[in-house]
Chain A
């Protein structure tokens, strides 16, 4: 009886849909976690798209140059960190408007990766196939019915996402550094008056955020296609930003929001398969975010000092 149910079409299709939901959610979740770090430190990160694209490109480049996909992942994180450092310099040190600088970062990401794509491989559209990162079947657990297929046959990036989500939550809510970072996003002057190096925290948070977003991008290239294609992130950076808001700037919340958006993505893929219109399903993340921010669903609260410049000379001490 149970066996029959487990082998039924309905269960098979549902499990397949949920498994692809987790796959779709992985890059969104990683990038959204990155946004949490940056925005909790008070820096609006509109450049997720560019950071993800950078991660996607350098992941493939690293794998291509070394033949080792994991070194590709390392290079992707490094590139994301460097791009984020530039972004941090421009916004924190040189006081550019965060949104404007984010737009520039996205333009730079698309322009630079495409120019490099042609420079390295002489192809305008895509890179050759390289060694990728493939799903891992966790021994024994992957043999379990349903959950085995659903959770324990995923990409290493998915396991990484879950681990980073838990670590990030512990960091933000169970360590003094996390508490300070959250406080900096609310009231940097007060934190500064306690003698805590506000700018160091901000820089490190933005860089960590960039590395996480780049990992999300690396999943798209190394984890899914084993190659890079021009503009392959195609708007996922904005969805990750939406997930960050819907998840209320909380590591667990944003990953759950990513799952929701991943489900929309998975449904869309299935509709496409049957030739049905996908546009309205694709809208779901954006519409949900508008409803949430418009105060129709539940209250979310952005860090109070988000997007503001902090300048020690302005504070009277």
Chain B
């Protein structure tokens, strides 16, 4: 019952956010009804739309999970974008440069490399937080920019494939995450994401380690009193968070693009923040909100192609959703306002 109530509450916030975003669209001179209709049709109207939605949702499962995991430990990982890039680059280089290997071994190494580099990139922020009490929000923002620039350098110089585009050489066929159906871009990376949802759920709610992570997130002082090594848990949480984001980047490279391309992410890491918040930082919640954001992004892309409303409209919806979910008092005030209107109408 509690879960149903929580879900209904989230849906209500979502509906309110869509209405507010619609009003913004209306003020800008567009028809929100037409826009939403085009978005929904584009996202779920046919198999191609559904596939596109799932393709868009795939990286968000990883980055949403990454942000949510750190949030469970009370650390704000705003750097999933940078970790995603590092993971993608590592996977791209391993996939393209390793000598011939058996299929699954090569794929496994590429995925592990992506996870490791994403994790290490996040661990820098953890180290500075533990060592110098440096704010992890600022640190991960800085690491975002540094990481994206570093990968850009590698794709432009060190590992550049021949040709005008800043990208690494194509990965070998033994490192490919296979496509699920011909004609779509949907790859088995989404299954990896689903498996991670289950794994993270298990770790967080069924292991001592996960329990301690959550205790640190709820009350670090009490955790320290109870003998939990807070610094160690924070470091571990950020590292794991980074591995999840890094795997997301690896999934894009090994399953979708087939190589690292400079600037390939339109902000999956930042979207992950919204996904985690809307999902209440729980793995299951992340799954649903990632699917929803995938739908929105796919719908937005169709909107962009078929109408004169740019795909960036989706960003407005995301912004309003974030505010709706993250500002507890605002939602209460809005609900209060609706009740006031109702009583006025009744009278």
A interface with B by C-beta (< 8 Å): 44, 46, 90-91, 93-97, 99-101, 103-108, 110-112, 114-119, 122, 124, 230, 235, 238, 241-242, 245, 277, 279-280, 282-283, 286-287, 289-290, 293-295, 302
Contact = CB atoms under 8 A, between A and B. Distances in A.
Given A103-B270, A279-B153, A282-B149, A122 B323 contact: no
B156 interface: yes
Interface residues of B, number: 51
A108 B137 contact: no
Given A241-B138, A283-B149, A293-B138, 10 more contacts: A94-B330, A103-B274, A104-B320, A104-B322, A108-B315, A108-B320, A111-B312, A112-B24, A230-B312, A293-B139
A35 B274 CA distance: 24
A111 B313 contact: yes
Nearest to B132: A295
Nearest to A286: B142
Given A119-B28, A277-B157, A293 B318 contact: no
A280 B158 CA distance: 13
A99 B327 CA distance: 12
Given A96-B327, A290-B139, A302-B135, A283 B150 contact: yes
B322 A103 contact: yes
Contacts, number: 148
Contacts of A245: 138
B308 A118 contact: yes
Given A112-B24, A279-B152, A293-B138, A100 B316 contact: no
26 contacts: A46-B141, A94-B328, A96-B326, A96-B328, A99-B78, A100-B277, A103-B274, A104-B326, A106-B270, A107-B316, A114-B312, A115-B24, A115-B28, A115-B309, A115-B310, A115-B316, A116-B28, A118-B309, A119-B30, A124-B310, A238-B144, A241-B138, A277-B156, A282-B149, A290-B128, A293-B139
A284 B132 CA distance: 20
A219 B286 CA distance: 40
B76 A101 contact: no
B30 A101 contact: no
Interface string B319-341: 11011001111100100000000
A283 B150 CA distance: 8
Contacts of B137: 44, 46, 99
B232 interface: no
Nearest to A282: B149
A104 B316 CA distance: 9
B284 to A, nearest CB: 21
A205 B145 CA distance: 28
A48 to B, nearest CB: 11
Nearest to A122: B308
Given A90-B330, A286-B145, A99 B314 contact: no
Interface in B186-207: none
B28 to A, nearest CB: 4
Given A97-B326, A99-B76, A112 B138 contact: no
